[in-house]
Amino acid sequence: MHAVTGYAARRPSRVLGVDPGLTRCGLGVVEGIPGRPPSLIATGVVRTDADQDIAGRLLVIEEEIERWLTEYQPDTVAVERVFSQLNVRTVMGTAQAGAVAIVCAARRGLPVALHTPSEVKAAVTGSGRADKDQVTLMVMRLLRMTERPKPADAADALALAICHLWRAPAIEARRARQASARSAMTRGPVARSPVAGGPVAGGPVVGGPVVGGTA
C-alpha cells in the first residue's frame, strides 16, 4: 500500500496567470498539483494600440481576459503585483491592466493571488534574482515546451501561474491561520465563574470576622 501525501490528495488545479501591461498583457494557463510538473493549457498575449485612448485599451484587455476565463475555466487567477519603478507612466498602465484582471476574476467569484516578480523567480528557478532568460528556460523545461514562448510577457504569465500553483498550499495555510486568529479575537476572553460555595480568593469570608477587626 502506498502512502497518500497531502499533495497527492489534492485535485488538479487550473491557474490563469496574468502579466499585466497596456501594450502587451501576457496570459498563461497551467494545470497541476503542487510539487509536480504542471501541464500547459494555453498561452498568449493581448495587444493594444498605443494611439488608442486608455478606456478603449482597457476594454480590449477586459474582453480578452473574459474570453479566456470562459474558455479555460481557471480555478484561480494569479496577477503580478505592481512594484515601484522609475517610469511612473509604465507603472500606472501596468496597475490599470492588473486591476482589470482582478475585476474580471471577482465578477466570477474566482480567488485572486498577487505575486511579486522576485516571488515568481524564486518559485520557478530557485533564485529571486534570476533574469528573464533563466525564467523562460525553466518555464520551457517545466512545461516541456519545445519552443520559447514569445513575447516574454507570455513566458512571465506562465511563470506566474506556476508560481501560484506551487505556493497555493502555503498561501492557504497562512489564510487559515489568519482566519483562526481573527475568530479568536472576535470571541474575546472566556469569562471564568467563581467556584460555587467557596470563598473568592483575596476577599473576606462571608459570615466570618473581618481580619484585624473586632470579633
Q: What amino acid positions are annotated as catalytic residues?
A: 19, 80, 153
Those residues with Cβ within 8 angstroms of residue 162's Cβ, 6 or more apart along the chain or in another chain: 15, 17, 30, 38, 123, 124, 139, 142, 143
Full strand arrangement of the beta sheet holding 13-19: 39-47, 24-32, 13-19, 76-80, 112-115
- Which among 66, 69, 57, 67 is positioned nearest to 96, based on CA atoms? 57
Q: How far apart are the C-alpha atoms of 37 and 49, rounded to whole Å?
A: 36
Q: How far apart are the C-alpha atoms of 159 and 163, rounded to whole Å?
A: 6
The H or E element spanning position 140 is helix 132-143
Those residues with Cβ within 8 angstroms of residue 95's Cβ, 6 or more apart along the chain or in another chain: 20, 82
C-alpha cell at 52: 488608442
